Amino acid sequence: MALALVLAAALFALAGIHLYWGFGGRWPGHDEASMVEHVVGRTRGMRAPGLLTSAAVALALAAGGVLVLATLAATPWDGWLQAARWVLFVVFAGRGLATYFPPAFRYAEGTPFATLNRRAYGPLCLSIALGLLILQL
């Protein structure tokens, strides 16, 4: 139960951060260019993702949080929900593992994103994937 609550909270927090960016937030940068360097990894001519893109990612993350919370009570849709959580596991495991596959993020070499990806983004995705795996077993 505690694991489900922690995972759901993490997914909802990530959804909130994506909404913050969609509404013009610039952390962890200080302006649009530095935010893109920290979050996307591209610098030349790249703009921060807009509200629609950020809201779509936030919605997907929030839906993941709801899927995790659904483990707390039996429902008639448990089979479908479990299948959806396996998809969520694959997405987070794939994103986390891609961090350590050099060609995947070669475009970001030399940007703050490259360091943050190795130290924070990748490990966070792998941690979420591990939590999802534990919930599924």
Rounded to whole angstroms, how far apart are CA atoms 59 and 76?
A: 23
The widest CA-to-CA distance across the chain, in whole angstroms, is 50
* pLDDT at site 137: 87
- Mean pLDDT of the region 6-15: 98
Residue 120: predicted pLDDT: 97
Asked if 37 contacts 116 with a C-beta cutoff of 8 angstroms, the reply is no
Are the CB atoms for 133 and 58 separated by under 8 Å?
no
75-124 residue pLDDT tens: 889 999 999 999 999 999 999 999 999 899 998 998 999 999 999 999 99
pLDDT at site 63: 97
